[in-house]
Amino acid sequence: METNTVEILSFTLDGQRFALPLSSVERVLRALAVTHIPDAPPIVYGVIDYYGDIVAVINLRSHLKLTPKSIQVNDRFIVVKTSGRKLALVVDEVESVMKPLERDINQAEEINPGLKIAKIIRDNNGIIFIYDLEKLLNCMDEIQLEEFLKVEPQL
């Protein structure tokens, strides 16, 4: 008998498919106005007011070394919770909530121990890279983000 695993939210960036554990996703929003901050690190588009909280909008394209693109009207923001704060990730399109079967999941370290990806799954539409939010931003990114926001992390 095949057992399901944790639910994930799949999305696309630059034609590639990615996913995050649904437990770390707070909400999906249509793209909205971002307040740009001078001298922000490359991983930060700027900030948004999210129900009274100032939330950094993260440029995953820069972080993942994909083709640069400005935020478009049809883009989506995935508001996520990390152990330290809320962040808004800019993605091209949100696909769906999925509950992959264990047989379809590969641990990324089995393929390459240096990958930031936690798991890789396959479905009828191809390969999806699943990221662990806590590992997605490396130490330098966290330091830049902390310096940029100059606020205590939100819990």
Banded model confidence at residue 3, pLDDT cuts 50, 70, 90: low
- Domain layout of the chain by residue ranges: 8-149
**85-115 tens-digit pLDDT:** 889 999 999 999 999 887 778 776 555 444 5
Quickly count: other Cβ atoms within 10 Å of residue 32's Cβ: 14
Superfamily of domain 8-149: CheA-289, Domain 4 (2.40.50.180)
Q: Which residues, in sequence order, are CB contacts of 137 under 8 Å at separation 6+?
A: 43, 58, 63, 82, 145
CA 122 to chain centre: 19
Give yes or no for residue 50 having a pLDDT over 70.
yes
Banded model confidence at residue 27, pLDDT cuts 50, 70, 90: very high
In contact, 111 and 120? CB cutoff 8 Å: yes
Q: Which residue has the higher pLDDT, 139 or 63?
A: 63
